Amino acid sequence: MTMRAIGAALVMLVTGQAAFAQPLAVHANQVGMLPAGAKRAIVTSASKQPLPWRLLDTDGTTRASGLTSPFGADRWSGQAIHRIDFSSFTSAGPAYRLVVGEATSEPFDISAATYAPLARDALGYFYQTRAGIPIEARFAGAQWARPAGHATEAAKCLAGTDGHGNAWPGCVYSLDVRGGWYDAGDHGKYVVNGGISLWTLLNLHERNQLAGTPAQFADGRAAIPEAGNGVSDLLDEARWQLEFFFRMQVPDSTTMQLPVGAKRNQPKLKFSPVDVSGMVHHKVSDDKWTGIPLRPDQDREPRVLFPPSTAATLNFAAVTAQCARIWKTIDPAFAARCLQAAERAWAAAARNPAIHAIDEFPGSGGYGDADLADEFYWAAAELLATTGRPAYRSTVESSAFYRLATVGEPGWPAVAPLGTITLALLPGAVDPAERSRLRTAITRAADGFLGERAGVGYAIPYAPAEGYPWGSNSSLLNRAMILGLAADFTGDTKYRDGVIDAMDYVLGRNPLSRSYVTGYGEHPMANPHHRFWARAADPAFPPPPPGIVSGGPNSTSSPRRDEPVGPAKGCAPQTCWVDDYRSFTTNEVAINWNAPLLWTAAWLDQVGAGAPLGALR
Protein backbone atom coordinates (compact mmCIF):
# COMPACT_ATOMS: atom_id res chain seq x y z
CA MET A 1 0.00 0.00 0.00
CA THR A 2 1.34 3.47 -0.83
CA MET A 3 1.81 6.11 1.88
CA ARG A 4 -1.09 8.06 0.35
CA ALA A 5 -3.32 5.00 0.59
CA ILE A 6 -2.24 4.38 4.17
CA GLY A 7 -3.05 8.00 5.01
CA ALA A 8 -6.48 7.73 3.42
CA ALA A 9 -7.20 4.50 5.27
CA LEU A 10 -6.26 6.11 8.55
CA VAL A 11 -8.53 9.05 7.89
CA MET A 12 -11.46 6.72 7.22
CA LEU A 13 -10.74 4.64 10.29
CA VAL A 14 -10.27 7.58 12.63
CA THR A 15 -13.20 9.64 11.39
CA GLY A 16 -15.53 6.81 10.46
CA GLN A 17 -15.17 4.25 13.24
CA ALA A 18 -15.15 5.04 16.93
CA ALA A 19 -13.43 1.69 17.54
CA PHE A 20 -10.24 3.15 16.07
CA ALA A 21 -10.13 6.01 18.59
CA GLN A 22 -6.96 6.04 20.69
CA PRO A 23 -7.17 6.13 24.48
CA LEU A 24 -7.05 9.69 25.79
CA ALA A 25 -3.38 10.51 26.43
CA VAL A 26 -1.12 13.53 26.70
CA HIS A 27 2.30 13.40 25.02
CA ALA A 28 5.01 15.97 25.81
CA ASN A 29 8.77 16.37 26.03
CA GLN A 30 9.59 14.31 29.13
CA VAL A 31 12.80 16.17 29.97
CA GLY A 32 12.04 19.86 29.93
CA MET A 33 11.20 23.02 28.07
CA LEU A 34 12.87 26.39 27.87
CA PRO A 35 11.13 29.37 29.52
CA ALA A 36 11.36 31.28 26.25
CA GLY A 37 10.18 29.34 23.22
CA ALA A 38 7.50 26.99 21.99
CA LYS A 39 5.78 24.73 24.51
CA ARG A 40 3.51 22.25 22.86
CA ALA A 41 1.91 18.94 23.74
CA ILE A 42 -0.24 16.45 21.86
CA VAL A 43 -3.47 14.86 23.02
CA THR A 44 -4.84 11.71 21.42
CA SER A 45 -8.61 11.96 21.21
CA ALA A 46 -11.24 11.35 18.52
CA SER A 47 -13.34 14.22 19.86
CA LYS A 48 -14.07 16.85 17.26
CA GLN A 49 -14.61 19.46 19.95
CA PRO A 50 -11.84 21.30 21.84
CA LEU A 51 -11.00 19.80 25.20
CA PRO A 52 -10.07 21.73 28.37
CA TRP A 53 -6.51 21.36 29.59
CA ARG A 54 -4.67 22.45 32.74
CA LEU A 55 -0.98 22.91 33.57
CA LEU A 56 -0.23 21.81 37.15
CA ASP A 57 2.85 22.52 39.25
CA THR A 58 4.34 20.18 41.85
CA ASP A 59 1.74 21.29 44.43
CA GLY A 60 -1.12 20.46 42.09
CA THR A 61 -1.92 24.11 41.56
CA THR A 62 -3.27 25.06 38.15
CA ARG A 63 -0.80 27.51 36.62
CA ALA A 64 -2.30 27.78 33.15
CA SER A 65 -5.34 26.45 31.31
CA GLY A 66 -7.04 26.54 27.95
CA LEU A 67 -8.63 24.49 25.21
CA THR A 68 -7.01 22.03 22.83
CA SER A 69 -7.00 22.59 19.09
CA PRO A 70 -8.43 19.55 17.25
CA PHE A 71 -6.24 18.40 14.36
CA GLY A 72 -8.07 15.23 13.40
CA ALA A 73 -6.76 12.08 11.76
CA ASP A 74 -2.99 11.99 11.44
CA ARG A 75 -1.46 9.64 8.85
CA TRP A 76 1.97 9.69 10.51
CA SER A 77 0.87 8.44 13.93
CA GLY A 78 -2.33 6.59 13.04
CA GLN A 79 -4.08 8.60 15.74
CA ALA A 80 -6.70 11.30 16.08
CA ILE A 81 -4.89 14.36 17.39
CA HIS A 82 -5.45 17.51 19.39
CA ARG A 83 -2.72 20.05 20.11
CA ILE A 84 -1.97 22.12 23.19
CA ASP A 85 0.09 25.30 22.93
CA PHE A 86 1.10 26.95 26.20
CA SER A 87 4.07 28.89 24.88
CA SER A 88 2.96 32.05 26.68
CA PHE A 89 3.65 30.40 30.04
CA THR A 90 7.26 31.25 30.96
CA SER A 91 7.62 30.48 34.68
CA ALA A 92 10.50 28.14 35.46
CA GLY A 93 9.86 25.23 37.75
CA PRO A 94 10.21 21.46 38.21
CA ALA A 95 7.89 18.59 37.37
CA TYR A 96 5.00 20.35 35.67
CA ARG A 97 2.22 18.15 34.30
CA LEU A 98 -0.49 18.70 31.70
CA VAL A 99 -3.92 17.28 32.45
CA VAL A 100 -6.75 16.64 30.00
CA GLY A 101 -9.73 14.85 31.53
CA GLU A 102 -8.37 11.73 33.22
CA ALA A 103 -5.13 11.80 31.23
CA THR A 104 -1.90 13.30 32.59
CA SER A 105 1.41 13.87 30.85
CA GLU A 106 4.73 12.69 32.19
CA PRO A 107 6.42 15.36 34.34
CA PHE A 108 8.71 17.92 32.74
CA ASP A 109 10.75 20.86 33.97
CA ILE A 110 10.70 24.37 32.60
CA SER A 111 14.28 25.54 32.92
CA ALA A 112 16.88 27.56 31.05
CA ALA A 113 19.36 24.77 31.82
CA THR A 114 17.26 21.99 30.29
CA TYR A 115 19.74 21.06 27.54
CA ALA A 116 23.13 21.49 29.23
CA PRO A 117 23.29 17.88 30.56
CA LEU A 118 22.15 16.45 27.23
CA ALA A 119 24.80 18.38 25.30
CA ARG A 120 27.45 17.07 27.70
CA ASP A 121 26.29 13.46 27.49
CA ALA A 122 25.79 13.54 23.72
CA LEU A 123 29.45 14.53 23.37
CA GLY A 124 30.43 11.86 25.91
CA TYR A 125 29.05 9.21 23.57
CA PHE A 126 32.00 9.74 21.24
CA TYR A 127 34.56 9.03 23.96
CA GLN A 128 32.68 5.90 24.95
CA THR A 129 32.74 4.59 21.39
CA ARG A 130 36.47 5.15 20.85
CA ALA A 131 38.56 2.29 19.53
CA GLY A 132 42.20 1.70 20.42
CA ILE A 133 42.11 3.20 23.93
CA PRO A 134 40.89 1.95 27.32
CA ILE A 135 37.61 3.55 28.33
CA GLU A 136 38.30 4.60 31.91
CA ALA A 137 35.87 4.64 34.82
CA ARG A 138 36.97 8.14 35.86
CA PHE A 139 35.69 9.48 32.55
CA ALA A 140 32.91 7.10 31.54
CA GLY A 141 31.65 5.69 34.84
CA ALA A 142 32.55 2.35 36.39
CA GLN A 143 29.98 0.21 34.63
CA TRP A 144 31.08 1.44 31.19
CA ALA A 145 34.82 1.08 31.70
CA ARG A 146 36.44 -1.46 29.39
CA PRO A 147 39.83 -2.39 27.96
CA ALA A 148 40.89 -0.92 24.65
CA GLY A 149 39.06 -2.42 21.70
CA HIS A 150 41.37 -3.31 18.82
CA ALA A 151 44.36 -1.83 20.61
CA THR A 152 46.53 -2.94 17.72
CA GLU A 153 44.91 -3.01 14.32
CA ALA A 154 47.12 -4.00 11.44
CA ALA A 155 44.44 -4.67 8.84
CA LYS A 156 45.02 -6.49 5.58
CA CYS A 157 43.28 -5.54 2.36
CA LEU A 158 40.17 -7.45 1.47
CA ALA A 159 40.82 -10.38 -0.83
CA GLY A 160 38.55 -13.18 -1.90
CA THR A 161 35.36 -13.94 -3.76
CA ASP A 162 32.27 -11.81 -3.17
CA GLY A 163 28.64 -12.91 -3.22
CA HIS A 164 28.47 -12.43 -7.00
CA GLY A 165 31.52 -14.55 -7.72
CA ASN A 166 33.94 -11.67 -8.35
CA ALA A 167 37.51 -12.40 -7.21
CA TRP A 168 39.03 -9.39 -5.41
CA PRO A 169 42.83 -9.57 -5.52
CA GLY A 170 43.54 -7.39 -2.47
CA CYS A 171 46.76 -5.39 -2.17
CA VAL A 172 50.35 -5.91 -1.15
CA TYR A 173 50.29 -4.11 2.19
CA SER A 174 48.53 -3.87 5.52
CA LEU A 175 47.91 -0.61 7.39
CA ASP A 176 47.92 0.30 11.05
CA VAL A 177 44.42 1.74 11.37
CA ARG A 178 44.00 1.83 15.14
CA GLY A 179 41.91 4.51 16.84
CA GLY A 180 38.87 6.41 15.70
CA TRP A 181 35.24 5.80 16.64
CA TYR A 182 33.27 2.61 16.17
CA ASP A 183 30.54 3.56 13.75
CA ALA A 184 27.47 2.05 15.38
CA GLY A 185 26.45 -1.07 17.27
CA ASP A 186 29.16 -3.15 15.59
CA HIS A 187 32.94 -2.67 15.38
CA GLY A 188 33.17 -1.29 11.88
CA LYS A 189 34.89 2.03 11.23
CA TYR A 190 33.75 3.82 8.10
CA VAL A 191 35.26 6.92 6.52
CA VAL A 192 32.05 7.92 4.74
CA ASN A 193 29.84 7.91 7.83
CA GLY A 194 32.73 9.17 9.91
CA GLY A 195 33.02 12.14 7.56
CA ILE A 196 29.61 13.69 8.21
CA SER A 197 29.96 12.94 11.93
CA LEU A 198 33.32 14.71 12.11
CA TRP A 199 32.01 17.63 10.05
CA THR A 200 29.09 18.12 12.42
CA LEU A 201 31.37 18.39 15.47
CA LEU A 202 33.76 20.71 13.66
CA ASN A 203 30.92 22.82 12.29
CA LEU A 204 29.53 23.21 15.81
CA HIS A 205 32.94 24.51 16.88
CA GLU A 206 33.09 26.98 13.99
CA ARG A 207 29.51 28.11 14.54
CA ASN A 208 30.21 28.72 18.25
CA GLN A 209 33.35 30.68 17.48
CA LEU A 210 31.45 32.98 15.13
CA ALA A 211 28.48 33.30 17.50
CA GLY A 212 30.70 34.30 20.41
CA THR A 213 29.99 31.20 22.49
CA PRO A 214 33.32 29.31 22.40
CA ALA A 215 33.26 28.55 26.13
CA GLN A 216 30.52 25.95 25.76
CA PHE A 217 33.08 23.19 25.13
CA ALA A 218 36.10 24.90 26.65
CA ASP A 219 39.00 22.78 27.84
CA GLY A 220 38.03 20.73 30.89
CA ARG A 221 34.27 20.77 30.34
CA ALA A 222 34.14 17.17 29.05
CA ALA A 223 35.17 13.95 30.76
CA ILE A 224 37.95 12.87 28.38
CA PRO A 225 41.65 12.07 28.81
CA GLU A 226 42.74 15.18 26.88
CA ALA A 227 41.00 17.60 29.27
CA GLY A 228 43.51 20.11 30.57
CA ASN A 229 45.59 20.36 27.41
CA GLY A 230 44.46 23.89 26.63
CA VAL A 231 42.34 22.91 23.61
CA SER A 232 38.56 22.78 23.27
CA ASP A 233 37.25 19.39 24.37
CA LEU A 234 35.08 19.30 21.25
CA LEU A 235 38.21 19.57 19.11
CA ASP A 236 40.06 16.99 21.21
CA GLU A 237 37.29 14.48 20.53
CA ALA A 238 37.25 15.29 16.83
CA ARG A 239 41.02 14.89 16.63
CA TRP A 240 40.77 11.31 17.86
CA GLN A 241 38.79 10.49 14.72
CA LEU A 242 40.99 12.63 12.47
CA GLU A 243 44.10 10.72 13.52
CA PHE A 244 42.37 7.50 12.49
CA PHE A 245 41.41 9.07 9.17
CA PHE A 246 45.07 9.77 8.38
CA ARG A 247 45.83 6.08 8.84
CA MET A 248 43.26 5.18 6.18
CA GLN A 249 44.96 7.13 3.38
CA VAL A 250 46.69 4.99 0.75
CA PRO A 251 50.50 5.27 0.56
CA ASP A 252 52.16 6.88 -2.43
CA SER A 253 53.13 4.79 -5.47
CA THR A 254 50.32 2.29 -4.91
CA THR A 255 48.53 0.52 -7.74
CA MET A 256 45.52 -1.68 -7.10
CA GLN A 257 43.26 -3.82 -9.27
CA LEU A 258 39.77 -2.31 -8.99
CA PRO A 259 36.53 -2.09 -10.97
CA VAL A 260 36.16 1.42 -12.37
CA GLY A 261 32.72 2.97 -12.85
CA ALA A 262 30.66 0.02 -11.60
CA LYS A 263 27.97 1.46 -9.32
CA ARG A 264 26.11 -1.53 -7.97
CA ASN A 265 26.85 -5.02 -6.79
CA GLN A 266 27.00 -7.17 -9.89
CA PRO A 267 28.71 -10.23 -11.35
CA LYS A 268 31.54 -10.23 -13.88
CA LEU A 269 33.22 -7.05 -12.72
CA LYS A 270 36.16 -5.96 -14.83
CA PHE A 271 39.25 -5.14 -12.79
CA SER A 272 41.85 -2.67 -14.03
CA PRO A 273 45.10 -1.35 -12.57
CA VAL A 274 44.42 1.97 -10.80
CA ASP A 275 46.87 4.41 -9.27
CA VAL A 276 45.21 4.82 -5.87
CA SER A 277 47.97 6.88 -4.25
CA GLY A 278 46.38 9.38 -1.87
CA MET A 279 42.93 7.81 -2.02
CA VAL A 280 41.30 6.65 1.21
CA HIS A 281 40.16 3.17 2.14
CA HIS A 282 36.39 2.95 2.41
CA LYS A 283 36.27 1.15 5.74
CA VAL A 284 37.86 -1.30 8.12
CA SER A 285 35.68 -3.95 9.69
CA ASP A 286 35.38 -7.48 10.94
CA ASP A 287 35.63 -10.24 8.37
CA LYS A 288 32.25 -11.61 9.50
CA TRP A 289 29.41 -10.31 11.62
CA THR A 290 29.83 -10.91 15.33
CA GLY A 291 27.04 -11.63 17.77
CA ILE A 292 25.59 -9.71 20.70
CA PRO A 293 26.89 -9.33 23.38
CA LEU A 294 30.59 -8.84 22.71
CA ARG A 295 33.10 -6.53 24.38
CA PRO A 296 35.29 -4.83 21.74
CA ASP A 297 38.57 -6.16 23.13
CA GLN A 298 37.17 -9.71 22.88
CA ASP A 299 36.41 -9.41 19.18
CA ARG A 300 38.49 -12.13 17.53
CA GLU A 301 37.41 -11.66 13.92
CA PRO A 302 40.19 -10.70 11.48
CA ARG A 303 40.15 -7.02 10.58
CA VAL A 304 39.65 -6.32 6.89
CA LEU A 305 40.62 -3.15 5.04
CA PHE A 306 38.23 -2.51 2.16
CA PRO A 307 39.46 -0.96 -1.10
CA PRO A 308 39.60 2.82 -1.44
CA SER A 309 36.57 4.63 -2.81
CA THR A 310 36.10 8.07 -4.32
CA ALA A 311 33.37 8.81 -1.76
CA ALA A 312 35.64 8.04 1.19
CA THR A 313 38.45 10.05 -0.39
CA LEU A 314 36.23 13.11 -0.75
CA ASN A 315 34.83 12.79 2.77
CA PHE A 316 38.41 12.70 3.97
CA ALA A 317 39.37 15.74 1.87
CA ALA A 318 36.42 17.74 3.21
CA VAL A 319 37.01 17.20 6.92
CA THR A 320 40.80 17.47 6.76
CA ALA A 321 40.29 20.81 4.97
CA GLN A 322 38.09 21.84 7.90
CA CYS A 323 40.84 20.69 10.23
CA ALA A 324 43.44 22.80 8.43
CA ARG A 325 41.65 26.09 9.05
CA ILE A 326 40.44 25.28 12.58
CA TRP A 327 43.83 24.17 13.94
CA LYS A 328 45.81 26.85 12.07
CA THR A 329 46.37 28.89 15.22
CA ILE A 330 45.95 26.04 17.72
CA ASP A 331 48.51 23.61 16.30
CA PRO A 332 50.05 24.90 13.05
CA ALA A 333 51.96 21.68 12.38
CA PHE A 334 48.80 19.61 12.68
CA ALA A 335 46.93 22.08 10.48
CA ALA A 336 49.62 21.82 7.81
CA ARG A 337 49.41 18.04 7.96
CA CYS A 338 45.64 18.26 7.51
CA LEU A 339 45.90 20.54 4.48
CA GLN A 340 48.55 18.42 2.82
CA ALA A 341 46.44 15.30 3.30
CA ALA A 342 43.29 17.08 2.06
CA GLU A 343 44.88 18.29 -1.14
CA ARG A 344 46.49 14.95 -1.77
CA ALA A 345 43.09 13.29 -1.38
CA TRP A 346 41.42 15.84 -3.64
CA ALA A 347 43.96 15.21 -6.38
CA ALA A 348 43.46 11.46 -6.01
CA ALA A 349 39.66 11.78 -6.26
CA ALA A 350 39.96 14.03 -9.31
CA ARG A 351 42.21 11.41 -10.90
CA ASN A 352 39.80 8.60 -9.99
CA PRO A 353 36.27 10.08 -9.95
CA ALA A 354 34.35 6.81 -10.29
CA ILE A 355 35.74 4.26 -7.84
CA HIS A 356 32.55 3.24 -6.08
CA ALA A 357 32.09 1.19 -2.94
CA ILE A 358 30.73 -2.15 -4.06
CA ASP A 359 29.99 -4.25 -1.03
CA GLU A 360 28.98 -7.87 -1.27
CA PHE A 361 30.87 -9.20 1.72
CA PRO A 362 29.53 -9.95 5.22
CA GLY A 363 30.69 -8.29 8.41
CA SER A 364 30.02 -4.61 7.81
CA GLY A 365 27.67 -2.00 6.39
CA GLY A 366 28.03 -0.85 2.81
CA TYR A 367 27.68 2.95 2.75
CA GLY A 368 27.67 2.78 -1.03
CA ASP A 369 26.79 5.87 -3.03
CA ALA A 370 26.14 5.89 -6.77
CA ASP A 371 26.20 9.69 -7.21
CA LEU A 372 29.34 11.50 -6.10
CA ALA A 373 28.61 14.99 -7.44
CA ASP A 374 27.58 16.15 -3.97
CA GLU A 375 30.81 14.81 -2.44
CA PHE A 376 32.90 16.69 -5.01
CA TYR A 377 30.98 19.90 -4.27
CA TRP A 378 31.30 19.49 -0.50
CA ALA A 379 35.05 18.79 -0.58
CA ALA A 380 35.67 21.68 -2.98
CA ALA A 381 33.67 24.02 -0.75
CA GLU A 382 35.70 23.08 2.32
CA LEU A 383 38.98 23.47 0.44
CA LEU A 384 37.82 26.81 -0.96
CA ALA A 385 36.89 28.06 2.51
CA THR A 386 40.31 27.01 3.80
CA THR A 387 42.58 28.09 0.94
CA GLY A 388 40.64 30.51 -1.29
CA ARG A 389 42.35 28.95 -4.31
CA PRO A 390 40.82 29.59 -7.74
CA ALA A 391 40.74 25.92 -8.74
CA TYR A 392 38.42 25.07 -5.86
CA ARG A 393 36.31 28.17 -6.50
CA SER A 394 35.87 27.09 -10.11
CA THR A 395 34.71 23.63 -9.04
CA VAL A 396 32.28 25.09 -6.52
CA GLU A 397 30.81 27.65 -8.89
CA SER A 398 30.36 25.11 -11.69
CA SER A 399 28.41 22.75 -9.43
CA ALA A 400 24.63 22.64 -9.73
CA PHE A 401 24.45 22.39 -5.94
CA TYR A 402 25.94 25.85 -5.60
CA ARG A 403 23.04 27.41 -7.51
CA LEU A 404 20.19 25.60 -5.80
CA ALA A 405 17.50 27.89 -4.42
CA THR A 406 17.14 25.67 -1.37
CA VAL A 407 18.83 22.71 0.32
CA GLY A 408 17.66 19.51 1.97
CA GLU A 409 18.67 18.03 5.26
CA PRO A 410 22.16 16.53 5.09
CA GLY A 411 22.90 12.84 5.45
CA TRP A 412 25.85 10.62 4.64
CA PRO A 413 24.63 10.03 1.03
CA ALA A 414 23.56 13.69 0.60
CA VAL A 415 26.41 15.94 1.70
CA ALA A 416 25.95 18.94 -0.60
CA PRO A 417 24.17 20.90 2.17
CA LEU A 418 27.36 20.68 4.24
CA GLY A 419 29.29 22.59 1.59
CA THR A 420 26.59 25.23 1.32
CA ILE A 421 26.48 25.65 5.10
CA THR A 422 30.24 26.16 5.26
CA LEU A 423 30.22 28.80 2.51
CA ALA A 424 27.21 30.55 4.05
CA LEU A 425 28.69 30.46 7.55
CA LEU A 426 32.27 31.57 7.13
CA PRO A 427 33.12 35.16 6.24
CA GLY A 428 35.37 35.52 3.21
CA ALA A 429 34.76 32.11 1.69
CA VAL A 430 32.63 33.72 -1.03
CA ASP A 431 31.78 37.37 -1.67
CA PRO A 432 29.08 38.95 0.54
CA ALA A 433 26.34 38.80 -2.09
CA GLU A 434 26.92 35.09 -2.68
CA ARG A 435 27.10 34.43 1.04
CA SER A 436 23.74 36.15 1.46
CA ARG A 437 22.26 34.09 -1.38
CA LEU A 438 23.43 30.85 0.20
CA ARG A 439 22.01 31.88 3.56
CA THR A 440 18.71 32.50 1.83
CA ALA A 441 18.83 28.97 0.39
CA ILE A 442 19.29 27.57 3.90
CA THR A 443 16.47 29.73 5.24
CA ARG A 444 14.19 28.58 2.42
CA ALA A 445 14.91 25.00 3.40
CA ALA A 446 13.94 25.81 6.98
CA ASP A 447 10.71 27.41 5.72
CA GLY A 448 9.96 24.23 3.79
CA PHE A 449 10.48 22.12 6.89
CA LEU A 450 8.14 24.36 8.89
CA GLY A 451 5.61 24.04 6.08
CA GLU A 452 5.69 20.28 6.50
CA ARG A 453 5.09 20.67 10.24
CA ALA A 454 1.61 22.06 9.62
CA GLY A 455 0.47 18.75 8.12
CA VAL A 456 1.87 16.50 10.84
CA GLY A 457 -0.33 15.81 13.85
CA TYR A 458 2.60 15.80 16.26
CA ALA A 459 3.71 19.18 14.86
CA ILE A 460 7.24 18.28 13.84
CA PRO A 461 9.07 19.68 10.80
CA TYR A 462 9.34 16.32 9.08
CA ALA A 463 7.00 14.64 6.60
CA PRO A 464 9.11 12.40 4.31
CA ALA A 465 7.19 11.47 1.20
CA GLU A 466 8.10 7.79 1.25
CA GLY A 467 7.58 7.24 4.98
CA TYR A 468 10.06 7.13 7.85
CA PRO A 469 13.48 5.86 6.72
CA TRP A 470 16.21 4.03 8.61
CA GLY A 471 17.66 6.58 11.06
CA SER A 472 14.64 8.88 10.88
CA ASN A 473 15.58 10.55 14.16
CA SER A 474 18.86 11.70 12.66
CA SER A 475 17.06 13.09 9.60
CA LEU A 476 14.85 15.14 11.91
CA LEU A 477 17.83 16.31 13.98
CA ASN A 478 19.74 17.30 10.84
CA ARG A 479 16.70 19.38 9.91
CA ALA A 480 16.86 20.92 13.38
CA MET A 481 20.42 21.99 12.59
CA ILE A 482 19.21 23.74 9.41
CA LEU A 483 16.47 25.44 11.44
CA GLY A 484 19.00 26.54 14.05
CA LEU A 485 21.20 28.09 11.37
CA ALA A 486 18.17 29.88 9.90
CA ALA A 487 17.53 31.34 13.36
CA ASP A 488 21.21 32.35 13.52
CA PHE A 489 20.99 34.07 10.15
CA THR A 490 17.64 35.84 10.65
CA GLY A 491 16.81 36.09 14.35
CA ASP A 492 13.29 34.85 13.62
CA THR A 493 11.78 32.94 16.55
CA LYS A 494 9.79 30.62 14.27
CA TYR A 495 13.00 28.76 13.42
CA ARG A 496 13.93 28.41 17.09
CA ASP A 497 10.49 26.95 17.73
CA GLY A 498 11.02 24.48 14.90
CA VAL A 499 14.21 23.27 16.57
CA ILE A 500 12.28 22.86 19.81
CA ASP A 501 9.54 20.87 18.05
CA ALA A 502 12.13 18.46 16.68
CA MET A 503 13.76 17.92 20.05
CA ASP A 504 10.39 17.62 21.80
CA TYR A 505 9.54 14.70 19.51
CA VAL A 506 12.85 12.96 20.19
CA LEU A 507 12.40 13.40 23.95
CA GLY A 508 8.89 12.03 24.25
CA ARG A 509 6.33 14.07 22.32
CA ASN A 510 5.59 11.20 19.99
CA PRO A 511 2.83 8.60 19.66
CA LEU A 512 4.80 5.99 21.60
CA SER A 513 5.44 8.44 24.48
CA ARG A 514 9.06 7.32 24.53
CA SER A 515 12.21 9.35 24.82
CA TYR A 516 14.53 8.08 22.11
CA VAL A 517 17.56 9.23 24.14
CA THR A 518 19.05 6.94 26.77
CA GLY A 519 18.85 8.24 30.34
CA TYR A 520 16.50 11.11 29.50
CA GLY A 521 12.79 11.21 30.27
CA GLU A 522 10.44 8.94 32.16
CA HIS A 523 10.46 6.28 29.44
CA PRO A 524 13.83 6.39 27.66
CA MET A 525 15.17 3.99 25.09
CA ALA A 526 16.98 1.29 27.06
CA ASN A 527 17.88 -1.61 24.78
CA PRO A 528 19.93 -0.43 21.79
CA HIS A 529 21.34 -2.70 19.14
CA HIS A 530 24.89 -2.64 20.47
CA ARG A 531 27.48 -5.28 21.23
CA PHE A 532 28.74 -3.86 24.53
CA TRP A 533 25.79 -1.88 25.92
CA ALA A 534 23.86 -5.10 25.90
CA ARG A 535 22.35 -5.79 29.32
CA ALA A 536 19.14 -6.93 27.65
CA ALA A 537 21.10 -9.75 26.01
CA ASP A 538 23.25 -10.59 29.03
CA PRO A 539 22.97 -9.03 32.53
CA ALA A 540 26.76 -9.20 32.85
CA PHE A 541 26.99 -6.39 30.29
CA PRO A 542 26.14 -2.74 31.00
CA PRO A 543 23.08 -0.80 29.88
CA PRO A 544 23.68 2.11 27.52
CA PRO A 545 25.16 5.29 29.00
CA PRO A 546 23.00 8.44 28.94
CA GLY A 547 22.81 10.75 25.97
CA ILE A 548 22.58 8.31 23.05
CA VAL A 549 19.85 8.60 20.45
CA SER A 550 18.11 5.66 18.81
CA GLY A 551 17.79 5.56 15.03
CA GLY A 552 14.05 5.71 15.57
CA PRO A 553 10.95 4.69 13.62
CA ASN A 554 11.54 2.99 10.29
CA SER A 555 8.54 2.30 8.07
CA THR A 556 10.43 1.87 4.79
CA SER A 557 12.93 -0.92 5.46
CA SER A 558 11.76 -2.60 8.65
CA PRO A 559 11.22 -5.37 9.48
CA ARG A 560 13.69 -7.29 7.36
CA ARG A 561 14.01 -11.02 6.92
CA ASP A 562 17.37 -10.99 8.67
CA GLU A 563 16.03 -9.00 11.65
CA PRO A 564 14.83 -11.26 14.51
CA VAL A 565 12.53 -8.63 16.02
CA GLY A 566 10.98 -5.60 14.37
CA PRO A 567 7.87 -3.42 14.32
CA ALA A 568 4.55 -4.78 13.18
CA LYS A 569 3.81 -4.80 9.49
CA GLY A 570 1.51 -1.97 8.43
CA CYS A 571 2.44 0.22 11.39
CA ALA A 572 1.88 3.97 11.09
CA PRO A 573 5.27 5.53 10.30
CA GLN A 574 5.89 7.16 13.68
CA THR A 575 5.07 3.92 15.51
CA CYS A 576 7.40 1.61 13.54
CA TRP A 577 9.89 1.20 16.36
CA VAL A 578 10.69 -1.32 19.08
CA ASP A 579 13.02 -0.90 22.05
CA ASP A 580 14.74 -4.20 21.43
CA TYR A 581 18.45 -4.86 20.90
CA ARG A 582 17.60 -7.29 18.08
CA SER A 583 15.95 -4.57 15.98
CA PHE A 584 18.93 -3.07 14.18
CA THR A 585 16.72 -1.26 11.65
CA THR A 586 14.98 0.81 14.35
CA ASN A 587 17.10 0.74 17.51
CA GLU A 588 20.74 0.88 16.54
CA VAL A 589 22.88 3.83 17.58
CA ALA A 590 25.47 5.53 15.39
CA ILE A 591 27.97 8.38 15.34
CA ASN A 592 26.18 10.20 12.53
CA TRP A 593 22.95 10.11 14.57
CA ASN A 594 24.49 11.34 17.81
CA ALA A 595 26.37 14.14 16.08
CA PRO A 596 23.23 16.18 15.19
CA LEU A 597 21.81 15.36 18.63
CA LEU A 598 24.92 16.99 20.08
CA TRP A 599 24.68 19.97 17.70
CA THR A 600 21.00 20.56 18.44
CA ALA A 601 21.27 20.11 22.21
CA ALA A 602 24.24 22.48 22.28
CA TRP A 603 22.34 25.08 20.23
CA LEU A 604 19.29 24.90 22.48
CA ASP A 605 21.51 25.09 25.55
CA GLN A 606 22.90 28.37 24.26
CA VAL A 607 19.39 29.70 23.59
CA GLY A 608 18.37 28.69 27.09
CA ALA A 609 21.41 30.45 28.53
CA GLY A 610 20.31 33.69 26.89
CA ALA A 611 22.33 33.73 23.69
CA PRO A 612 20.46 36.04 21.32
CA LEU A 613 18.82 34.73 18.19
CA GLY A 614 20.35 36.12 15.04
CA ALA A 615 23.85 35.60 16.41
CA LEU A 616 25.26 35.24 12.87
CA ARG A 617 23.41 38.07 11.11
Enzyme catalytic residues: 186, 529, 579, 588
User: What does the radius of gyration of the chain's CA atoms come to, in whole angstroms?
Assistant: 24
Distance of alpha carbon 129 from alpha carbon 567, whole angstroms: 27
Beta strands in 148-229 (DSSP E): 154-157, 160-161, 167-168, 174-176, 189-190
Contact 116, 607 (CB under 8 A): no
Contact 467, 555 (CB under 8 A): yes
Contact 238, 201 (CB under 8 A): yes
Residue type (1 letter), 292: I
Cβ density class 284-323: b for 16+ within 10 Å, e for less? bbbbeebebbbebeebeeebbbbbbbbbbbbbbbbbbbbb
Distance of alpha carbon 446 from alpha carbon 194, whole angstroms: 25
Distance of alpha carbon 444 from alpha carbon 424, whole angstroms: 13
Residue 411 three-state SS: strand
For the chain, the 3-state helix, strand and coil shares in percent, each to the nearest 5, are 40, 15, 45
Q: What is the DSSP string of 271-296?
A: EEEEE-TT-EESEEEESS---SS--G
Q: At what angle do helices 591-608 and 472-490 cross, to 10 degrees?
A: 40
In eight-state DSSP terms, residue 181 is B
Which contacts of 4-9 are long-range, i.e. CB under 8 A and separated by 24 or more positions?
A: 6/75, 6/570, 6/572, 7/75
Specify the DSSP element, H or E, that contains 33: strand 32-33
